[in-house]
Amino acid sequence: MTALRSALADYLGMRRALGYKLRRTEKLLLQFVDYIETAGADHISTDLALNWARLPASADVSWWSGRLTVARKFATFVNTLDPKSEVPPADLLPARKSRRAVPFLYSDSDIAALVEAAQIFPSPLRVLTCQTWIQLLAVTGMRVGEAIRLDRKDLDFEAGVLTVWMSKFGKSRELPLHPSTVDALRIYLRKRDQLCPNPSAPSLFISSAGTRLLYCNVNWDFIRLVRRAGLMPRSKDCRPRIHDLRHTFAVRTIIDAYQTHANAGARLSLLSTYLGHVHPGHTYWYLSAAPELLGLAGQRLERSLENR
């Protein structure tokens, strides 16, 4: 193993110990090290990093900038071990300022339309699985990757609890489920077992082949369902995305607190834990783009001021 490959293993190990998964980063950095070694170099240089980052030549500058950022972070680590390795300047390939997408908040009819649209798939198991994970994401706010990684043993029917293991930043959590959700999952598993008695994976959700679902396939299925359901973008920055089921859950949870005159601050703290956020501050973004929620907050403020 070369010194650079050894440094890469240490770098990935260190960052993963902090909770980062780094699947894409590892893939890119392996390519980066291959590029350096193919060039016959023993150290990272700014020129090599820049030339590698600008591949392919037809890509957008934001793609190049992202690749250089990955290489630069690794180079910073390597430089502490090998001063001959250079760290590319941060402004070498400035990226365009990106705008964060505006969450697409789904209505009950939108979700029902997505569930109904799953009938387009030819496999009964695929239809059943797709309908179930859509509804589970909608009522729990789980991340897509978390739902895919669930194993059957993670569902405790007696306690009505779903356990999410080692998710983002290495956090695990238990999600209490509504009895109707538990019943729906019980029905799913019973029908699933009839359609696929001997799956090859222990996962809760399985493909038509009995294997664990892949994120790319789940996302592609969702895009097809959005088109089939006729859900249209509300603006250039507000398009239906699978992750917005999580945003919708978060907003509805706080709206319910306002409508039932519950303590919204306390509900926010519970919501943050339920979503698996490290800090409640990370939950605020999920709530910032909902006019209905802002309206309810404003009404509560007005009542409070009147009472004073």
| Residue 286 falls in the annotated catalytic set | yes
**Other CB atoms closer than 10 Å to residue 16's CB: what's the count?**
14
Alpha-carbon gap, residue 137 to 155, rounded angstroms:
15
Catalytic residue among 126, 149, 246, 252: 246
Q: Rounded distance, CA 37 to CA 34, Å?
A: 5
Beta strands in 111-270 (DSSP E): 155-156, 161-164, 173-176
Distance CA 91, CA 274 (A): 39
**Catalytic residue of the set 21, 243, 267, 300:** 243
User: Quick check: is 277 catalytic?
Assistant: yes
Residue for token digits 């698996």?
276
- The answer to whether the CB of 230 falls within 8 A of the CB of 111 is no
| Cα–Cα distance measured from residue 266 to residue 279, given in angstroms and rounded to the nearest whole number | 14
Say which residue the tokens 């089921």 belong to: 245
The side-by-side arrangement of strands in the sheet containing 155-156 is 155-156, 161-164, 173-176
Task: Copy the structure tokens of residue 94.
Answer: 């400035």
DSSP symbols for 102-114: PP-PPPHHHHHHH
Residues 6+ apart with CB under 8 A from 111: 134, 135, 138, 245
Q: Of 41, 63, 64, which is closest to residue 51 (Cα–Cα)?
A: 64
| Catalytic one of 67, 143, 149, 192 | 143
Torsion of CA 226, 232, 235, 236, to 10 degrees: 60
Contacts of 267 (CB under 8 A, 6+ apart): 253, 254, 256, 257
Count of residues in the chain:
308
Q: What are the residue numbers of the active site?
A: 143, 168, 243, 246, 277, 286
